[in-house]
Structure 1
Amino acid sequence: MNYRLFFLGTAFAASLALSGCERTEPAADSVAVAVAEVGQPIPLRHARYLTLERRGGFVVARLKGPMANEQGAAQERSATIVLAPADGPEPELRGDLRDAAVIRTPVRRIAANAGSDEAFLGQLGIKDRLVAVGGLASYDDDIRRKAKAGEIGQVGYNWHSPPNLDVLLATRPDVFLMRLSDPAHTPVLKRAQALGLAVLPTLAEEEQSYLARAEWIRLYGILTGTEARAEQIFAEVEARVAELKAKVADRPKAKVLWAYPNGADRWIATVRGPEGSYITDAGGINLLARTEDPNRYPTETISTEAILPFGDQADVWLIGDIHAVAPRNPAIERSFRAWREQRLFGNTGRTVAAENAYDWYQTGLVRPDWVLSDFVKALHPDLVDEPFRFLKPLPQGQYQ
């Protein structure tokens, strides 16, 4: 991916670090108020790596979740954040909150290094608060244009590099939404905090269900002062998912093959995880399903021989993907019934290929109801009238 460097007029300097983070601070004569030791939990129905609790005028957010290193071994990340209104007193941290970070809310200037966090803000209608993003691959035209024009900074995407602290110090965000996908980037997170930057680690993408991922919008609502909007959006997501699942409950199960070509005789198959559950919840059977395991990726590399037995079984074939590479021997595909009947789909419906921008990894995480609607339409076309969003029908021989 081609990333343009965000140019800084001055070098990285400690004085900038200490003075560059402009936030709305409490009045000078305000009195610190101790955060209550016991509070009222904010019920979360799906998220497992996030808890929220109201303690007086403050909200305590606890984030805890696994992160796999390069060897596949799981490590745990955790953080405790106290969200304190900017026009209120300074929180006095005691007991279990002694080491918590404090973020004054609502945040007005936001940096993010993951496209999914951009999408959360976009759904909340506050994408204009972004002062820095990962790079130039945003699916949102406005964000991408601003990044290209240098109107907002580029800190580097989470999967590509550790965040550029110079950019963060120059753009002065009230909060940096940092997806920490590589344990090697942990020292940079700690360095950012030491320099006075407010960092909120994001774990939505590590959640093990698509509704759990989407429910993180409730944290972003509290963080940005758009809590009512966040609650409304998530209620819509839940209701639509329940409606779609009810529609397919009594339908015969469609048999689905989700595997796209990856060159030579290799295929990348979706076998578990939140992605795999879209098939089940849409009234289908994943022919390549494997045992659920939160410590393993939702996809596995398999051989052509592994998919051949399903040639006559598969009613629908999800054969297209942004990473797909045409197979070496296309004659194999012609032996599959789904190929002959042209029930082929890809996940590239919301794509700006020239910009390397794919909304499957952005809004797809925030609006799983839209994704599930696509799957129901692909498996049971008569049940959904609205057009496809993320999925799209593919002609024979096309993979993106």
Structure 2
Amino acid sequence: MLRRTFLLAAGASALSACSAPQEELSETQDGEGTPILLRHARYLKLERHDGYVVARLRAPVADQSGGQAKEQEAVLVLAPREGPEPKLPAGLRDAALIRTPVTRIAANAGSDEAYLGQLGVKDRLVAVGGRVSFDDEVRRGVIEGRIGQIGYNWHAPPNLDVLLAARPDVFLMRLSDLAHTPVLDRARRLGLVVAPTFAEDEPTYLGRAEWIRLHGMLTGREAQADRLISQIEARVEALKAAAAARPAVPTLWAYPAGGDRWVATVRGAEQAYLSDAGGRNLLLRPEDPRRWSSETLATEQILPVAEQAQVWIVGDLHAAPPRSTVVEGLSPAFRAGRLFANTGRSNLPANAYDWYQTAFVRPDWVLADFVKALHPDLVDEPFRFLKPVPRGAYR
């Protein structure tokens, strides 16, 4: 499970592209089609042509052994299932053609399961990573053998034999390690239609959520995806505006990792939840595309700011009880019991943790939780992903 944290941290701090939103133009200079406006996503571009849509996917992918990131890209042509095959220009001759709507889908990441679930098409999954989906119906399908197991992206390359048996219309492959690239290439040579997904690599939480528009186009749920992202944007802006009117709350997001070590959120999309919810991260570090969103710190590095923390995100699926620390006595957050964990949507017997699934597609739910933790009177709905932690749990 520690590997999953490592991959998410690496993805959260992947190299960011241009900061301006894509502009909707009447026609690009090179005749590539009409760009579809995306306000937040940086690693996804969509173009509408006569009779089909082109999706361009591009993001840096790191070698998890510690090497440099290398940019990976793919071009997809989405054409209606009914009707003739589109005549494509020479520049798209190597693009993967996908006839839509797809009805059989494979995915090796929980986040892609969540996008499909939010669109109401999870019943089209024929293969997933394994048995730890937070969605009860998907997990039951895997256990009963109706849905194949191809291996999770954070654990191993996909099992091509299972994929070939499942016969998906498209395989949504979360490419989280350069070492898995040869398997992606081999899958294509075997005739599988592969769409590498980079939603988790997006540098902003709204950028991650906006990838639902690609899932909507693939599944024939484009209108539903557009409505959902608009609702998410509106809710996020309302929460940010309400929190911005309040004094910033000194906050820490650091969970114990054993041996007097703490994993602290210091930058990236996760840190943005703190700042957008009206918090002042006491361990804030400058944004750096070459660094992860979290850093491992010794207790001695936590102590100087612990006495300022009014709210503390102190729990995580991977958290271990601290050993011989004195942070409890210093921190007002500990004394007042304003401690939280991001494990609110967990099914521990199934080893299922929705922070790695639905949190990517519903950042409005996540942000509402952080606003409620920092400014309780601004949100009257129950916590979803965050949950209060009893003080005794960390003594």
Structure 2 residue corresponding to 1:252, chosen from 238, 247, 250? 247
In the alignment, what sits opposite 2:44? 50
Contact 2:107-2:171 at 8 Å conserved across structures: yes
AA partner of residue 85 (structure 1)? P
AA partner of residue 166 (structure 1)? D
In the alignment, what sits opposite 2:186? 191
Say whether 1:329 aligns with 2:329: no
Structure 2 residue corresponding to 1:123, chosen from 118, 131, 145? 118
Structure 1 residue corresponding to 2:54, chosen from 15, 35, 60? 60
- Number of residue equivalences: 365
In the alignment, what sits opposite 2:19? none
The residue matched to 1:262 in structure 2 has which SS? strand
CA distance in 1, matches of 2:36, 2:190: 31
Structure 1 residue corresponding to 2:263, chosen from 256, 263, 268? 268
Cα-to-partner distance string for 1:18-70 (whole Å, 9 max, x where unaligned): xxxxxxxxxxxxxxxxxx94311110000000000011010000011111112
The residue matched to 2:72 in structure 1 has which SS? strand
Please state how far the C-alpha of 1:297 moved relative to its aligned partner.
1.1
CA distance in 2, matches of 1:210, 1:332: 30
The residue matched to 1:398 in structure 2 has which SS? helix
Please state how far the C-alpha of 1:331 moved relative to its aligned partner.
3.8
Cα-to-partner distance string for 1:274-295 (whole Å, 9 max, x where unaligned): 0000000001111111111223
Structure 1 residue corresponding to 2:74, chosen from 53, 76, 79? 79
Say whether 1:391 aligns with 2:386: yes
Q: How does 1:361-380 map to 2 (within 5 A)?
A: 361-380=356-375
CA distance in 2, matches of 1:88, 1:198: 19
Contact 1:37-1:95 at 8 Å conserved across structures: no
CA distance in 2, matches of 1:297, 1:398: 28
AA partner of residue 391 (structure 2)? Q
AA partner of residue 258 (structure 1)? W
Contact 1:93-1:100 at 8 Å conserved across structures: no
Cα-to-partner distance string for 1:84-128 (whole Å, 9 max, x where unaligned): 111122123333212111111100000000000000000000100
Say whether 1:351 aligns with 2:337: no
Please state how far the C-alpha of 1:76 moved relative to its aligned partner.
0.4
Please state how far the C-alpha of 1:72 moved relative to its aligned partner.
4.4
In the alignment, what sits opposite 1:92? 87
Please say which structure displays the higher CA radius of gyration: 1
Contact 2:310-2:331 at 8 Å conserved across structures: no
Please state how far the C-alpha of 1:389 moved relative to its aligned partner.
0.1
135-144 or 325-334, which deviates more: 325-334
Contact 1:68-1:295 at 8 Å conserved across structures: no
331-340 or 180-189, which deviates more: 331-340
TM-score of the superposition, structure 2-length normalised?
A: 0.91
Gaps of 5+ in 1: 2-35
In the alignment, what sits opposite 1:224? 219
CA distance in 1, matches of 2:87, 2:78: 12
Alignment RMSD, CA only? Answer: 1.2
CA distance in 1, matches of 2:89, 2:227: 34
Contact 2:232-2:364 at 8 Å conserved across structures: yes
Structure 2 residue corresponding to 1:145, chosen from 140, 145, 151? 140
In the alignment, what sits opposite 2:21? none
TM-score of the superposition, structure 1-length normalised?
A: 0.89
Gaps of 5+ in 2: 2-29
